[in-house]
Every structure is written in structure tokens, then in C-alpha cells.
Amino acid sequence: MGTTIEFRGCYTAIVTPFSADGARVDLDRLRRQIADQAAEGVTGIVVAGTTGESPTLTDEEYRALAAAAVKAGRAAGLTVILGTGSNSTHHAVELQRAARDLGAHAALSVNPYYNKPGQEGLYRHFMAQADACDLPVVLYNIPGRTGVALTPETVERLAKHPNIRAVKEATGSTDSCGEIAARCPGLAVLSGDDSMTLPFASVGALGVVSVVSNVAPARTSGLCAAFLQGRWSEALRIHRELLPLCRALFVETNPIPVKAAMKVLGKDTGVLRLPMTEARAETVETVRRAMSGLGLCG
């Protein structure tokens, strides 16, 4: 289904829009957000990831969200990647198969969180998912959220599996990113931190799974296009333009600030589900100021 995908460019880690009371997923608003992303030139979307508040979704909501996103994203010509991560390998395998059945192009699987497995446990976990069905896997290496990191050596072992096609590298380490890119020439490395997109590109990354592109999709995709086409001076200019917004969207835990930004833009209710809470007033002001600097709001 998705085996010919080339993982390059900007993939928006799309927010999950909730109703004003937080009781339901607003699928109509989701479709509008996906249409906006496509119109602004991103390569694809990542659904039900960290930014999508996946831990707060019921199984029924996950399937409804995923089905709607796959249908809308495919119709718009976007690559659709579904979050399938879990700290239970059995559950992760079930989600991997569900993503395949729902029509996703690929799956994004986070390091098992809380359990704190060793490298062999991480290896077996991801291999079980990759073996489960013929759907490309994007590893999601984010130790700040999960408490464990995939080492470059383990990523190299995993990259030998034909279904493991990319890694979202959210370590913040150019050393780790560069070593993975050097060890695994057939594996696409995507930045998992917006402020590191260009630094990671300088050591071999091919794009980003972006929070910022919820708010500034054209500029973020333009940044990726610039460095992928060797226009490094232009890429640096865009990187510097985006940096204040990158910082603003992480002054509180993601996705609190980006939900506030989407509300300012009139594209979301801004509602989060507990244990996430609404942005502080000073966060909203910081976000508004950063967006205003880019001409995104008044």
C-alpha cells in the first residue's frame, strides 16, 4: 500500500480538534484543518501523535479520527501517517494492523513509555510491529517523553527490516541524528523538533514532523524545500524567521501552546483534555506576539 513512499519534507503533527466541552472529536474541523494543510503545501500529516493528544482518545475515537483523516488526507494528496505507539507491544501490534486496515500510508511508533525497556526490549518491540503487517514504520525516538532513547546502534539493527523506513528523531542531538543518518543510509531521518529542522538537515535529515506547521505550514514546508534543493541561504533565512514561533510553541508542554495558537487563528476551540490544561495568559500573549511577527495574526 505505502511501500513506495519517500519520507522527505514537512509532515504536520496535526492537533486533534475537540468540541468546546471536550466531549467529542470534531471531525468536521479536522477535515478543514487537513484541507488547509494541503493548500499550504505540506507533504503529509501525522495523526494521533503527541500533538494529537493520543493518550486521551478512546479506541472508538481513535478509529473515527484515523478514518476521517485518511480519507481527507488521501483525497488532498497528502501522505497520512497514523500514530500506533503503545507501551504494550501487543497493543502496538494491534494498532499497526488497524492503521493498515484504515488505509494509512505509514505508522508512527513511539518508544514504549513508562516501562523503560532496555535496547533489546526496544528492538523486539519495534520488530514485532514491523513484522505485523506490510505497512511502513516510522520510529519515534523521543526520550524526553518516554524515559528511554533508541541508540544509533539499535536504530541500525532495526533499519535492516524492510518495513522500518524512517525515524522521527526528537532527541535534540545533532550527534545522534548525524550518527543515525551515517549508519543507516537507507533510512530517512526526520527532525522531531522544529528548532532543530535545519541543524539536523545539515547532518543528513530529510525533513520534519512539525508542530509549527499547524500554524505556519507554508513557511515550514518552504524551509524543507529550500534545504532539500540545496538552497541553504534561503533555508537559513526561513529558519531564523520561524525560530521565535518555534520557541513560543514550546513555552509550555506541547500541545498546549499550539492549541492556543490555533484558537487565536480561529481554527480550533483550543480545548485540551485533562491532564492537559489550557494555556496560561502569558503563553497566549507570547504565542500571539510570535505569530504577529510572521504576519499570521493582527
Half-sphere exposure at residue 35, Cβ-oriented, CA atoms within 13 angstroms: 7
Catalytic residue, chosen from 71, 168, 263, 267, is 168
Collapsing DSSP to helix, strand or coil, 4 comes out as coil
CB contact at 8 A, 48 and 54: yes
Catalytic residue, chosen from 11, 62, 140, 259, is 140
Please name which of 286, 278, 285, 274 lies closest in space to residue 256, comparing C-alpha atoms. 278
* 11 tagged catalytic: no
| Burial 137-147, CB ≥16 within 10 A → b, else e | bbbbbbbeebe
Mark out the alpha helices in the chain (DSSP H runs). Answer: 27-39, 59-75, 89-102, 119-132, 143-146, 152-158, 174-183, 197-201, 217-228, 232-248, 256-264, 281-293
Helix, strand, coil fractions of the chain, as percent rounded to 5 = 50, 15, 40
* 160 tagged catalytic: no
Ramachandran class of 119: left when φ > 0, alpha when ψ lies in -120 to 50, beta otherwise: alpha
Which residues are catalytically annotated? Answer: 140, 168
